[in-house]
């Protein structure tokens, strides 16, 4: 974990994990709802540590368990909000709450996914989001944010329900995304990010 990473409101992210290859779009586990967490045990903690190590090695702001091939409804994140304040956290069995009615404002911005590396297109999402769920010990956790953090919370919760952000954009934009990914394929071998050094920032 980067030395300057803030502590999560519900405790620090687990450390000591192993960097694993990131699972790509098209793999079945990426496109189905993930199994709910029912046992908050050492195996779950070990998986979370691997997710944290992999997220930092890939220079990501969030990572879901399915992105390292595990059918578990959990994600980790280390992401700034629109005020550039970083929040770190871990959520099992997330439930997403978004603004409704006059409070709902869509923000269109670049979005990418570590499971389709090297590609970014605009994706409209609500500018604020809240996620409730459970931490590694089964304790209730809640995170809320704006800007990139709001986008991250929505993106990662989507993963736990088998949705990739490409499912939320028009066909033309998805084709553009795929072309970008294919053009960058040489930069991201099948075992990426194994062997990468975590970003110290």
Positions annotated as catalytic residues are 156
Strands 106-112 and 120-126: antiparallel
C-alpha distances in angstroms, 80 versus 102, 119, 148?
A: 25, 21, 6
Cβ contacts of residue 7 below 8 Å, gap of 6+? Answer: 88
Among positive and negative, which fits the CA dihedral 178, 189, 70, 12?
A: negative
Give SS3 for 176.
helix
SS3 at position 144:
strand
The H or E element that residue 45 is part of is helix 42-57
């Amino acid at each position: 974990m980067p030395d300057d990473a803030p502590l999560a409101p519900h405790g620090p992210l687990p450390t000591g994990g192993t960097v694993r290859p990131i699972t790509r779009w098209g793999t079945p586990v990426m496109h189905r709802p993930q199994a709910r967490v029912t046992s908050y045990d050492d195996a779950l903690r070990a998986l979370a540590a691997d997710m944290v190590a992999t997220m930092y090695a890939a220079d990501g702001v969030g990572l879901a368990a399915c992105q390292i091939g595990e059918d578990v409804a959990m994600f980790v994140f280390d992401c700034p909000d629109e005020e550039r304040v970083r929040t770190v956290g871990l959520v099992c069995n997330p439930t997403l709450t978004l603004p409704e009615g006059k409070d709902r404002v869509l923000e269109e911005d670049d979005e990418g996914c570590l499971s389709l590396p090297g590609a970014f297109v605009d994706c409209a999402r609500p500018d604020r989001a809240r996620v409730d769920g459970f931490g590694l010990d089964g304790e209730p956790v809640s995170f809320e944010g704006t800007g990139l953090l709001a986008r991250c919370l929505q993106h990662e919760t989507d993963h736990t329900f088998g949705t990739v952000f490409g499912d939320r954009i028009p066909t033309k934009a998805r084709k553009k995304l795929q072309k970008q990914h294919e053009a960058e394929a040489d930069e991201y071998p099948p075992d990426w990010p194994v062997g990468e050094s975590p970003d110290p920032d």
